[in-house]
């Protein structure tokens, strides 16, 4: 099978352009950009630099350019650092030339997207680097900003991570409340298997080794070790190895991830990389006329 031409698997622009357009509409409101339209002539052109003010892993360069191009389809852009690149502080990300009004009006939407997504990519990179030689992969969760999941999950890939479920319809993930409602993990798995088709995988969240044994007896496709102590996790890995995919979660940081990876886990799922990652400091600097 040939390698994909896009190793980051960028989302198709058709899928994220509507959310970029909605963000612009939110900013423009009913009256438009009063400041820019009162100061800048309609025909004026300008050149500007998209700059990383702090060091980090980039994601959202294409989405940022989409914001500018919605307002100026003829925008000229010379990308110096693409999505997935590491940007030193002060680095030029892209050189832009086009409508001065479009550059100014789309500036905040473009920077919001680029800063937010690059922050996620940078946070993901920190954990990927921390686990070093271990084969475990860092994956994200559904703890994403409403409406931005497609782009935020792309940012995780740009940071060297991988994606978990995109939505509730991707797979079955039996969590603690499902287990409580069904009466037992075993019953929850059996109900899910009766409902889901043969192509749907089933993962069960387990808090104890007894729950793990129940899940393994039901031959689930994956188990999620949730907030387990390292000694318990290591025993869980010993029992489950070779029988299903093994995932660990629960307040995992770059400092704690290496020990989790060393236990032999396959996947490390981290919610904060999408819901709490600090934005990367990026800017748009106009060049002198």
66-123: pLDDT as tens digits:
999 999 999 999 999 999 999 999 999 999 999 999 999 999 999 999 999 999 999 9
Same domain, 59 and 173: no
Indicate whether 3 belongs to any domain: no
Task: Name the residue with tokens 């600090």.
Answer: 278
In-domain check, residue 155: yes
DSSP assignment letter at 198: T
Instruction: Give the domain range for residue 233.
Output: 129-275
Question: Do both 113 and 165 map to the same domain?
Answer: no
Average pLDDT over residues 214-220: 98
The pLDDT confidence band at residue 5, using thresholds 50, 70 and 90, is low
**Residue 3 pLDDT greater than 80, yes or no:** no
Cα–Cα distances in Å, from 146 out to 19, 46, 70, 149, 275?
11, 34, 22, 7, 10
Judge whether 6 lies within some domain: no
Q: What pLDDT was estimated at residue 1? A: 36
Question: Residue 197: its pLDDT value, please?
Answer: 85
Do residue 97 and residue 161 come from a single domain?
no
Q: Is residue 191 domain-shared with residue 237, that is, in the same domain?
A: yes
Domain count, the chain: 2
Backbone φ and ψ for 50, nearest 5 degrees, come out as -95, 120
Residues 270 and 142 in one domain: yes
148 neighbors 19 (Cβ within 8 angstroms): yes
Domain containing residue 251: CATH number:
3.20.20.70
Active site residues: 108, 143, 175, 205, 226
* pLDDT for residue 45 is more than 50: yes
CATH number for 113: 3.90.1170.20
Answer whether residue 5 is part of any domain.
no
Q: Can you tell me the distance from the alpha carbon of 104 to that of 48, in angstroms, rounded to the nearest whole number?
A: 10
CB 203 within 8 A of CB 188: no
Please state the rounded mean pLDDT for residues 156-164. Answer: 97
pTM of the model: 0.95
C-alpha angle 25/30/33, rounded to 5°?
75
């Amino acid at each position: 099978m040939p390698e994909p031409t896009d190793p980051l698997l960028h989302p198709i622009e058709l899928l994220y352009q509507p959310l970029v357009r909605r963000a612009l509409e939110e900013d423009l409101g009913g009256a438009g950009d009063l400041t820019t339209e009162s100061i800048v002539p309609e025909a004026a052109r300008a050149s500007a630099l998209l700059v990383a003010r702090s060091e980090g892993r980039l994601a959202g360069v294409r989405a940022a350019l989409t914001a500018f191009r919605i307002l100026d389809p003829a925008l000229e852009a010379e990308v110096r650092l693409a999505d997935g690149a590491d940007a030193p502080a002060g680095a030029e990300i892209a050189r832009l030339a086009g409508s001065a009004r479009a550059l100014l009006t789309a500036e905040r939407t473009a920077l919001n997207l680029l800063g937010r997504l690059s922050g996620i990519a940078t946070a993901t990179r920190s954990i990927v680097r921390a686990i070093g030689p271990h084969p475990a992969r860092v994956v994200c969760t559904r703890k994403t900003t409403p409406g931005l999941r497609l782009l935020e999950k792309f940012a995780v890939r740009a940071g060297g991570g991988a994606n978990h479920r995109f939505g509730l319809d991707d797979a079955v993930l039996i969590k603690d409340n499902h287990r409580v409602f069904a009466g037992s993990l075993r019953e929850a798995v059996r109900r899910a298997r009766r409902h889901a088709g043969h192509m749907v995988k089933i993962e069960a969240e387990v808090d104890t080794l007894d729950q793990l044994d129940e899940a393994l007896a039901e031959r689930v496709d994956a188990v999620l070790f949730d907030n387990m102590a390292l000694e318990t996790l290591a025993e869980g890995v010993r029992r489950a190895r070779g029988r299903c995919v093994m995932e660990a979660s629960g307040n995992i940081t770059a400092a704690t991830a290496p020990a989790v990876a060393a236990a032999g886990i396959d996947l490390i799922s981290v919610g904060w990389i999408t819901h709490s990652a600090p934005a990367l400091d990026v800017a748009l600097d106009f060049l002198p006329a």
